Structure 1
Amino acid sequence: MTKDGSSFPSINIGLRGKLIALFVAIKVLPLVFLAWLAWQYSSQLADLLKQQFNGFAEVSQVSLQQIGSEAVDDSMASLEDRARNEIERLTTDTAKQISRLLYATDDDILLASTLSPEKRYYEQFLKHRTTLAPEKYSWQFDEKNQQWQQLGVPNYYQESLLIKNSLTDNSRAFHSRPPEATNHFQRLPLYHEMTFVALDGQEQV
Structure 2
Amino acid sequence: MKRIQLETRDVGFIPEPDMRMLYDEEILREFALDNEKYPLELILDVAERATREEPDVELLNELDNAHPAVRYWALMSILTRTTANVEFPPEELAEGQEPNSAFKLYSRKRILDPNVKLNILEAMLDDESTAVRIASAELLAEYGSVRQQARALNALLELSNVGEYHVQVATSALNAIDHLGKLAAPIGTEVEALPVKGDNVPGRNRKYVIDLKAAIAKNLETP
Fold shared by both chains (TM-score > 0.5): no
Rg larger for: 1
TM-score, normalization: structure 1? 0.20
Structure ranking higher in strand proportion: 1
